[in-house]
Amino acid sequence: MTDLKEFLDEKYDQYNTPQFIETDPIQIPHKFTKKEDIEIAAFLTATIAWGNRKMIIRNADRIVNLLDNEPYNFIMNASDNEIESLANFVHRTFNIVDLHFFLKSLRNIYKKHHGLERVFSRYGGNIPKTLINFRELFFEIPFPERTSRHVSNVAKNSAAKRLNMFLMWMVRQDKRGVHFGIWNKIKPSALFLPLDVHTGNVGRKLGLLSRKQNDWKAVAEITGRLRKFDSADPVKYDFALFGLGVFEKF
């Protein structure tokens, strides 16, 4: 275990650097300085973060351009008609119908629930309960049935990779210029790994994960193992696992 921790710490140091931003979707929220712009751009970017990374970056950039590069201002001031006038967006199965609803729901969250940070912080460090509550709140206004697939349901054992990644971006204070750390009501120790095909495969090869499915049970298992290496900041090892899988084809 000591050797594995040293190996992962070395890989974490290798990949948790500003250079990581150049090839990662996190570059989109890094275009902004205002807290609300960062968190909205990050949430929308994380929402479409599956598939080819260059395509994710290109399409996330298209979204913020549709919002006049002022996400918070657009969401707070746009009417339904203005939102629905946005056209011709698609990222894999996420299309313009889904985007229209996401913008309306975010508007509802900022106007009626005091913003994303307040909503995600409602249950403090209980992340599973937080994610279940967030999904219920996100769909409290009328929604197209097709759009419900685009917010993971932890209550049905979803790995919730994109929601966990969004939380990691907002909460984790890496002091290395990659993650934002602009939310302080949730501690990094409470976070769960954004498990995907890369981190899952590497985790299994390293003996950190025995479960074959990438679901919430697997997320809990691998995060529990990583907490033994760093209880205060377990998801820092996402850099190591992801870097090994994507950049080193481990």
Least confident interval from 44-48, 69-73, 87-91, 207-211? 87-91
As a whole-number percent, the residues of the chain with pLDDT over 70 amount to: 100
Q: What is the pLDDT of residues 10-34, one digit of tens each?
A: 999 999 999 999 999 999 999 999 9
Helix, strand, or coil (residue 240): helix
Q: What is the pLDDT of residues 109-128, one digit of tens each?
A: 999 999 999 999 999 889 99
Beta bridge partners of 91: 94
In the chain, how many domains are there?
A: 1
Q: What are the structure tokens assigned to 38, written together?
A: 């960062």
Reported pTM: 0.96
Q: What is the pLDDT, as a whole number, of residue 8?
A: 97
Residue type, 64: V
234: containing domain: 2-246
Give me the mean pLDDT over the 74-86 stretch. 96
| In contact, 37 and 72? CB cutoff 8 Å | yes
Residue 64 pLDDT class (50, 70, 90 cuts): very high
Packing angle, helices 53-66 and 35-47, rounded to 10: 130
If one counts every other C-beta atom within 10 angstroms of the C-beta of residue 16, the result is: 22
Q: What is the pLDDT, as a whole number, of residue 2?
A: 82
Between these two residues, 124 and 207, which has the higher pLDDT value? 207
Q: Is the pLDDT assigned to residue 39 strictly greater than 90?
A: yes
Nearest to 127 by CA among 167, 183, 181, 169: 167
Q: What are the structure tokens assigned to 148, written together?
A: 């419900």
Q: What is the pLDDT, as a whole number, of residue 250?
A: 82
**What does DSSP say about strands 90-91 and 94-95: parallel, antiparallel, or unpaired?**
antiparallel
Give me the mean pLDDT over the 56-73 stretch. 97
Q: Which residue has the tokens 């508007």?
A: 107
Give me the mean pLDDT over the 198-215 stretch. 97
Taken in order 39, 44, 45, 50, the sign of the CA dihedral is: positive
Residue 80 pLDDT class (50, 70, 90 cuts): very high
Alpha helices in 79-180 (DSSP H): 80-84, 96-112, 116-120, 127-138, 161-171
Give me the mean pLDDT over the 60-78 stretch. 97
Indicate the average pLDDT of the chain: 96
